[in-house]
Structure 1
Amino acid sequence: MPGKERPVIVAAPDSFKGSCTADAAARAMIAGAREVLGDAAEYIEIPLADGGEGTLDGLLAAWGVEARDARVLDALGRPRTARYGVSADGATAIIEAAEANGLPWVSDEALRPLEADTFGVGQLVLDALDHGVTEILLSVGGSATSEGGTGILRALGVRFLDAGGNDVKPGAAGLSSIAAVDATGLDPRAQAATWKIAVDVGFPLCGPDGAAAVFGPQKGASTGDIDVIDAGLARLATVLAERNDLPAENYTNRPGFGAAGGIALTAVALLGAETVAGADLVSEAIGLPELLARATLVLTGEGQLDAQSVNGKVVDLVARTRPAGVPLVVIAGSVALTAAESRAAGITAAFSIAAGPTGLADLVAAAEPRISETSANVVALAISQETTA
């Protein structure tokens, strides 16, 4: 193309839940674009995630590294092999807590919400520290636990003590007995590391909108269990707040602390962790603004484009990050926003991969070829044929 710049097509989708990973979706989008433009364009794949399910795989793909394995305990204390990732420069670990404390690993028996524990997540952190990382990115969705992250800190050397100076029971059952925290044994590498906790909900730690009330039932908590967990988390927050000379409300009412059974609480109070929106954590970790800087057209997408999509999720992240004036097209399994709502959220246009009336099973079964075909049509429309003449 003498005298003309090659267009740069960027595919930066979330996963299509139940259909394909973000990595697969990005490949399918680029395959469709390449079908139209061939070698006349440059292509960039950026699989993304919002800090919940898929964050580990998204960053592994973006960093171009393989997952590492570690032997840990699941939420009920049984051995399992869990994955985590380390950036190419060796400085940063991405740990998806659910690899250790996730609900799927304990669904083979009756859920035990008062016993479920995050100790295995702490073991993942220790393995990463053993490999020399100095920054921990922790995504926390999908947990089976509701114990404020105490298990993680126990794995790192902290003791949670009752009034008699004895270690309290692991899990949520022991929280109400906590009278003091002994951090003298805290691994100094964990204390020195930079911690960022990716949260994808804004719920507080305690109360009717807190971790126990909102998420307890899906972890098997009865009404009585919810009361025990909520009281225990409030007790833990009070002890930690007193230790840090803060009002308890600084922890019990803080937005985002309700995610994953309150994992952020102990990490913030004892390790100086920062809580961040999951999508923004991913953006910073991979340098998304720089990756999008040269884009001519940006494609993004997820399973369903709806109001949540444009409120802190991946589509919203890409809309906020892509350069001004660059078209952004969403390709989704279904589109629940009007054209006006999409435009108000910074989306140029949105298209469903459904070719006509169809069911969810059909969309799931053929997600990748449908994403590719829809992308081809979008690129053919969005990129002027004169550009590639």
Structure 2
Amino acid sequence: MIPYGRQQISSDDVAAVVAALQSDWLTQGPAIERFEQALAARCQARHAVAVCNATAALHLACLALDLGPVDSVWTSPNTFVASANCARYCGAKVDFVDIDPATWNLDVDKLEAKLVEAKRAGHLPRALVAVAFSGQSCDMARIAALAKVYGFAVIEDASHAVGATYQGRPVGCGDFADMTVFSFHPVKIITTGEGGAILTNRTDLAQRLQRLRSHGITRDPAQMQGNSHGPWYYQQRELGFNYRITDLQTALGYSQLQRLDDFLARRRALAARYDQLLAGLPLQLPTRQAGAESAWHLYVVRLQLDRIGQTHRNVFEALRAGGIGVNVHYIPVHLQPYYAALGFQPGDFPEAERYYAEAISLPMYAGLTDAQQDDVVVQLRAAVRP
């Protein structure tokens, strides 16, 4: 079975983890800060705060904005549930903005129209989680401009987009978002096993994120109330969580970061090759947004079912039966039973629902060989033949 995604671990990665195991620190040690500094430098951001996974990163980003039950957070329905759940963890309300039929990212025209109506009704969002689906940024400049007009914070969920660029700048640089979240799950661009990070240019947010990932505790006398009792002293300033990442994970992440350019080059070559090999088939291929260079976490095609004469499920199962580990990203979040119980229903976000009925994620990872990709294409051609 050719999987839709997988990690690529080198002997250098293994050596890095072994070195961490043999060091004095397994957690809360210097490997974490080294990884954070390298990641921030790569993304041209002031601060990076590494945590145990990207879901924790999204949760902490919402907590750092003091979101609560009186607040509303908007996001895309075409994403993993964590992009919405992070607001619910804080008690905030969630709403969605339908997707663009070409890029499959949040549709900024629909966002603007929804903001106009929300202002009229007095229900503007406190924050927007803008998802860089498949590794390609949303139109972040327009989103940032709308944020200034309507007064909401921007969290860029760039879980798919480590190494991507927008308007010639690295995703995560903070030009158009208050905070950017990355994921280092094994199927992502680089991996720490499990892991995530929040990047920001605001020192106040970075300090709070660092506290919140470790029980709300600080050892910095400058952040304490009153005087320190001595070198052993710490204070819990607020209710935080144990969302820490380990030295073992960040040692792996630092090693992987050294090969990020190689990973990106291979993914982009595979995407270009898919474009050529799939041309002329009854498929909608991914659209490149002007000014955005994708990291290509996913390569998604949409089946033109009226031309194929088969169902979405039939094509999917034929590919799986042929040894191609395709997947579907994503079931629209508002259709999940939890969100249906909050009042959402089919038809609320029709473009995301149309997309879901047609989308298939093809294998895409740096270790995918040309021969394996050829096999994917052969099987796909057979599956969509009318």
TM-score by length of 1: 0.25
Relative contact order, higher structure (CA 8 A, sep 6+): 2
TM-score (norm 2): 0.26
Structure ID, larger Rg? 1
